[in-house]
Amino acid sequence: MAFTNTRYEILRDLFKSQRLPLAFVDLDAFDFNIDVAAALAKKADKTLRLGTKSLRCLPLMERVLTHASLAFRGFLTFTAEETAFLAQSGHDDFLLAYPTVQPEDMNTLAWIVRQGKQLSVVVDSPEHITALHEAGKKHNLTFHICFEIDMAYRPLGNDTLHLGLRRSPIRTVEQALELVEFAKTVSHVKIDSIMGYEGHIAGTNDDIPGAGLKNNLLRGIKKASVRELSQRRRAIVGAVRSAGVELRFVNGGGSGSLSSTLQDESVTEGTIGSGLYASGLFHHFKEVKYKPSAFFALQVVRKPKDGMVTCAGGGYIASGAIEKSKLPLPVMPVGMKYVDLEGAGEVQTPLILPPNCPPLELGDPVFFQHAKAGELCERFNEIILIQGGHIIDRVKTYRGEGFAFL
């Protein structure tokens, strides 16, 4: 979907009778993004796992699985409760990507296993393994576990300069094998997979318009990091297999790193989520191009002065480090800017209009994208689906289903 004032006028008329605020997904763009990811997987002769935290809408996740059934397998989930919800909805093949040790979560995971579902739970420490072992002993079952390895880039060879996420402490072959040996000492867990998420590559824009020098610098860092982490991942995977562990899959990547991740011979599957919505922080990747598909609309309720409007609501700030990039991105009409002293507010959001802005009347919509992807769904109970310029359906988000998983 191109951001143009002509497009704005089409959408304004389309949603004229709808209550604002609202969220919508353009299925033409959404399906395009599915096809982009599926083509990368097919080229590499590998599969993709669906990152659920970045979608948080079961009907849209099911659309992905139906639209590209040969490319996608299973779900990368973010809580035990969410995983159980998907299992109850008839789905299977789960990788719970974030560790937990809570007793109630252990009971939930045991229930999933008892339903005959395929489940692997991410771990990165003896404490995680021990908690799962004790729960398995209690429920008389065996949990499959997935080792997460740290994919961050440390160009100085130590922790002085750390480019990437703070997740697993496992970085080396020796550390991985030490955890393998520990897992062998307990009887109710079985290692069946490895995950390595290169978030500093998957989520960093490196094709930003007008930022040539910065783009080149970021691409250089990414290239060096991919070379280092791929060598390290291959070494760890090889060592774990040599230690007698049969791996069902090796998971890696993210929306912005699919191309390089799927080229790694040690990886058997990639993960995608945010790229399917192509939210505000996922527009400008060099190696892969997605079309923005998920949006929300606010109502114009005031005109404080010429060249400015104020919308109702809008303070949908993304998680992460506090900075302006976490604000929603106003996209149509084109060229709108925030008022620095207010930004996106809980009950009102003033916007400065560009000179060529189409006339905005009270009640008209202004269209935004959330900075991140699935977090948009925490603000809306339903998503309106449009295709071919028409409203074709409404589907519930996790919130609309009555769940707030995290």
| pLDDT (tens digit per residue) in 130-171 | 999 999 999 999 999 999 998 787 777 777 777 677 888 999
The yes-or-no verdict on residue 293 having pLDDT over 90 is: yes
| CATH superfamily ID and name for 27-277 | Alanine racemase (3.20.20.10)
The two beta strands, 269-272 and 47-51, are parallel
Q: Measured between alpha carbons, how far is 72 from 55 in angstroms, rounded to an integer? A: 15
pLDDT given at position 207: 66
**SS3 category, 369:** strand
Work out the burial of residue 125: count CB atoms within 10 Å of its CB; fewer than 13 is exposed, 13-18 middle, 19 or more buried: middle
Q: What is the pLDDT of residues 258-284, one digit of tens each?
A: 888 998 899 999 999 999 999 988 786
Q: What is the pLDDT of residues 166-225, one digit of tens each?
A: 888 999 999 999 999 999 999 999 999 999 988 776 567 666 777 777 767 767 767 777
Q: How confident is the model at residue 288 (pLDDT cuts 50, 70, 90)?
A: confident
Arch. (CATH architecture) of 5-21+293-400: Beta Barrel (2.40)
Q: Measured between alpha carbons, how far is 196 from 260 in angstroms, rounded to an integer? A: 13
Q: Measured between alpha carbons, how far is 79 from 76 in angstroms, rounded to an integer? A: 10
pLDDT given at position 54: 96
pLDDT given at position 369: 97
Element (H, E) at 295: strand 294-305
- Between 258 and 120, the more confident residue is 120
Instruction: Read off the amino acid at residue 137.
Output: K
**SS3 category, 8:** helix
pLDDT given at position 206: 66
Q: What is the pLDDT of residues 300-345, one digit of tens each?
A: 999 999 999 999 999 999 998 888 989 999 999 999 999 999 999 9
Q: Measured between alpha carbons, how far is 164 from 151 in angstroms, rounded to an integer? A: 7
**SS3 category, 17:** coil
pLDDT given at position 209: 74
Element (H, E) at 63: helix 58-67
Mean pLDDT, residues 20-47 taken together: 96
- 383 near 394, Cβ under 8 Å? yes
For residue 395, list its beta bridge partners.
Answer: 383
Q: Measured between alpha carbons, how far is 156 from 294 in angstroms, rounded to an integer? A: 39
Q: What is the pLDDT of residues 54-94, one digit of tens each?
A: 999 999 999 999 998 889 989 999 999 999 999 999 999 99
pLDDT given at position 1: 57
The yes-or-no verdict on residue 227 having pLDDT over 90 is: no
Work out the burial of residue 366: count CB atoms within 10 Å of its CB; fewer than 13 is exposed, 13-18 middle, 19 or more buried: buried
Cis bond before residue 333 (omega within 30° of 0): yes
Mean pLDDT, residues 384-401 taken together: 97
The yes-or-no verdict on residue 255 having pLDDT over 90 is: no
* Closest alpha carbon to 331 in 394, 283, 380, 266: 283
**Using alpha carbons only, how large is the chain's radius of gyration in Å?**
22
Q: Measured between alpha carbons, how far is 127 from 172 in angstroms, rounded to an integer? A: 19
Instruction: Read off the amino acid at residue 326.
Output: K
What residues does each domain of the chain span? 5-21+293-400, 27-277
Q: What is the mean pLDDT of the chain?
A: 92
